[in-house]
Amino acid sequence: QTPAQPTRLGLCAACHGSTGHASMPGVPNLAGQQLDYLRDALKQYRDGRRNVPIMRAAIGPVSDAELDALARWYSAQSPQLQAHP
Amino acid sequence: QTPAQPTRLGLCAACHGSTGHASMPGVPNLAGQQLDYLRDALKQYRDGRRNVPIMRAAIGPVSDAELDALARWYSAQSPQLQAHP
């Protein structure tokens, strides 16, 4: 069961893609990632334990409920084999 | 082309699996992850910028060449859809 598309998805999709397949160098894929790992990572970016300014800026204003919806969305996406240059 | 199995793979596989499919809560999947992201994350765990004691202990003694081999290995694995409980 795929969750409903989160209202804040566009914020993440610019770099991670709407289905969690990264489109930029240095950006991780999120599709199919473990839910608890994604949720913890987002909280760490939000409070600065993972000190990545663009992630802090993006996720800083996001509520716990929105954060949870984003983690669930990406965890529920199907991972796909990437092309490796 | 799948890289040769890294000599240090067992160190990682205990939690991340030999093909990068996590077997423990809180542990991320690594299969098919972006290579540059994996390499950077490993360096951040090694030097403490990502402050996760078990990762620092595991990757602390690993050389740059070994670290690179591990990142390449996991990035080259095929991601698989996970069961979501």
ipTM over 0.95: no
pLDDT the model gives residue A20: 96
The residue ranges of every structural domain in chain B are 31-80
Mean per-residue pLDDT of chain A: 91
Task: Please indicate whether, in this complex, the C-beta atoms of A84 and B28 are within 8 angstroms of each other.
Answer: no
End-to-end CA distance of chain B: 33
* A1-A58-A41-A37 Cα dihedral, nearest 10 degrees: 10
CB A33 within 8 A of CB B79: no
Per-position pLDDT tens, chain B of length 85: 679 999 999 999 999 999 999 988 899 999 999 999 999 999 999 999 999 999 999 999 999 999 999 999 999 999 986 554 4
Task: Please indicate whether, in this complex, the C-beta atoms of A81 and B78 are within 8 angstroms of each other.
Answer: yes
Residue A85 has pLDDT above 50, yes or no: no
Task: Please indicate whether, in this complex, the C-beta atoms of B37 and A22 are within 8 angstroms of each other.
Answer: yes
Distances A8 to A4, A5, A18, A58, B41 between C-alpha atoms, Å: 12, 9, 11, 10, 26
Tokens of A19: 């289905």
Tokens of A72: 């669930």
Give residue-wise pLDDT tens across range A19-56. 999 988 899 999 999 999 999 999 999 999 999 999 99
Mutate to test the interface with B, among A2, A21, A37 (most CBs of B within 10 A): A37
Identify the closest residue of chain B to A76 by CA–CA distance. B84
Phi, psi of B42 (to 5 degrees): -60, -40
Residue A73 has pLDDT above 90, yes or no: yes
Partners of residue B25 in chain A, C-beta under 8 Å: 34, 36
CA distance A46 to chain B (A): 14
Question: Which DSSP helix (H) or strand (E) runs through A67?
Answer: helix A64-76
Task: Please indicate whether, in this complex, the C-beta atoms of A25 and B36 are within 8 angstroms of each other.
Answer: yes
Tokens of A57: 């800026």
